[in-house]
Amino acid sequence: MNSFKSTEDIVQRVTGNFGRWQLRSIILIFLCKIPTAWFMACIIYTAPTAQKGHYYCRPSPLEISRNSSWIRVSQSPLSDIQRTDREFQVDACHMYEHSLRENFKFTHGTNYTNPFTRPQINQTHFNIIPCEHFEHNSDYESLVTQFDLVCSRELLVSVTQSFHALGALIGGLIAITALKYISPRCLMLYGMLGQIVCGNLTGLVSTFALHVYYRCLTSMFCAFMYTAGQYILSDVTGGKAKTIVITLFELFWSIGLILLPGISIFFDSWSHLYVVISSSLVILVFLHKWISDSPRWLLRQNKIEKALQLLLESAAFNNREIPLDLEEQLKAYSRCLQQNARPIKYWHIWTKKELRKYIIAIHWAWAIATILYNVMILMIRSLGVKHIHVNTACLGFSEMLGVFLGLYLILYTRHRWLWSGYLVLTSGFITYFIWLVPSSIKETRRVGYEMIFWIILKLANSASLSVLTTCSGELVPLEQRPVLMISISSFSRFCLIFAPFISITTKIHFLIPITIFASLALSNGVLMCFMNINFWNEQQVKIPKIPTPNTYRRKSSMILLQRQSSVTSGKNSTHSSDDVSNHLTISITDLWHLDQYFQSVQETESNSSEDNSTKVMQMEKF
Burial 109-145 (b: 16+ CB within 10 A, else e): eeeeebbbebbeeeeeeeebeebeebbbeeebbbbbb
CB atoms within 10 A of CB 333: 24
The DSSP line for 515-550 is: HHHHHHHHHHHHHHHHHTTT---TTSPPPPPPPPHH
Is the Cβ–Cβ distance between 348 and 51 less than 8 Å?
no
Query: Is 150 or 206 the better-scoring residue by pLDDT?
Result: 206
Q: Is the pLDDT of residue 421 over 90?
A: yes
For 326-329, the CB contacts below 8 A with 24+ separation are: 326/10, 326/14, 329/6, 329/7, 329/10
For residue 452, give every residue at least 6 positions away whose Cβ sits within 8 Å of its Cβ, in sequence order, or none.
none
Q: Is residue 437 part of a domain?
A: yes
Give residue-wise pLDDT tens across range 70-89.
444 444 444 444 444 444 45
End position of a domain, from candidates 81, 109, 137: 137
Q: How far apart are CA 598 and CA 370, in angstroms?
A: 52
Mean pLDDT over each residue of the chain, to the nearest integer: 80
Inter-CA distances, 130 with 63, 93, 95, 104, Å: 18, 6, 7, 16
Residue 176's Cβ-count burial label (10 Å; 0-12, 13-18, 19+) is middle
In terms of domains, do 128 and 144 share one? Answer: no
Same domain, 125 and 235: no
| pLDDT at residue 5, as a whole number | 42
Question: Percentage of residues in the chain with pLDDT exceeding 90?
Answer: 39
- Among 502, 534, 566, identify where a domain stops: 534
The one-letter code for the residue type at 361 is: A
pLDDT greater than 60 at residue 250: yes
Mean pLDDT is lowest, of 316-320, 351-355, 396-400, for 351-355
Q: Does residue 585 lie within any of the structural domains?
A: no
Instruction: Tell me: do 112 and 180 sit in the same domain.
Output: no
- Give 559's pLDDT tier (boundaries 50, 70, 90): confident
The answer to whether residue 578 sits within a structural domain is no
Answer with the residue of higher pLDDT: 454 or 146: 454
DSSP type of residue 409: H
Same domain, 276 and 360: no
Are the CB atoms for 242 and 469 separated by under 8 Å? no
Same domain, 159 and 172: yes
The answer to the question of residue 306 being in a domain is: no
Asked which of 90-94, 203-207, 259-263 is least confident by mean pLDDT, the reply is 90-94
Classify residue 608: in a domain, yes or no.
no
Q: Are residues 174 and 131 in the same domain?
A: no
419 in a structural domain: yes
Pure H helices in 135-238: 143-147, 155-178, 184-204, 208-236
Residue 522 lies in a domain: yes
Per DSSP, the three-state class of 407 is helix
Domain boundary among the residues 518, 534, 550 is at 534
Name the phi and psi angles at 3, rounded to 5. -65, -35
Do residues 461 and 547 lie in contact, with contact meaning Cβ atoms separated by under 8 Å? no
Q: How many CB atoms lie within 10 A of CB 606?
A: 10
Question: What percentage of the chain reaches a pLDDT higher than 70?
Answer: 77
**pLDDT value of position 352:** 84
Q: Is residue 453 part of a domain?
A: yes
Same domain, 124 and 196: no
Q: Which domain holds residue 172?
A: 21-47+140-293
**Residues 162 and 235 placed together within one structural domain of the fold:** yes
Tell whether the model's pLDDT for residue 166 goes beyond 60: yes
The rounded distance, in Å, linking the Cα atoms of 435 and 555 is 56
Q: How many domains does the chain have?
A: 3
Q: Which amino acid is at 376?
A: M
Phi, psi (degrees; rounded to nearest 5) at 141? -85, 105
Is residue 51 over pLDDT 60?
yes
Asked whether the whole model's pTM tops 0.85, one would answer no
What does the pLDDT read at residue 6?
43
CATH number of the domain to which 265 belongs: 1.20.1250.20
Query: Do 152 and 230 belong to one domain?
Result: yes
Instruction: Say if residue 367's pLDDT is above 50.
Output: yes
d(CA 172, CA 170): 5
Residues 6 or more apart in contact with residue 103 via CB below 8 angstroms: 112, 113, 114, 115, 117, 119
Mean pLDDT, residues 591-595 taken together? 66
pLDDT at 63 over 50: no
What pLDDT, on the 0 to 100 scale, is given for residue 58?
66
Looking at the structure, do residues 226 and 361 belong to the same domain, yes or no?
A: no
CA end-to-end span of the chain, whole Å? Answer: 44
Lowest mean pLDDT among 87-101, 105-119, 348-362, 437-451: 105-119
* Residue 595, pLDDT score: 56
Same domain, 164 and 117: no
All residues at 6 or more sequence positions from 561 whose CB lies less than 8 Å from its CB, including other chains: none
Q: Can you give the length of the chain in residues? A: 622
Same domain, 117 and 198: no
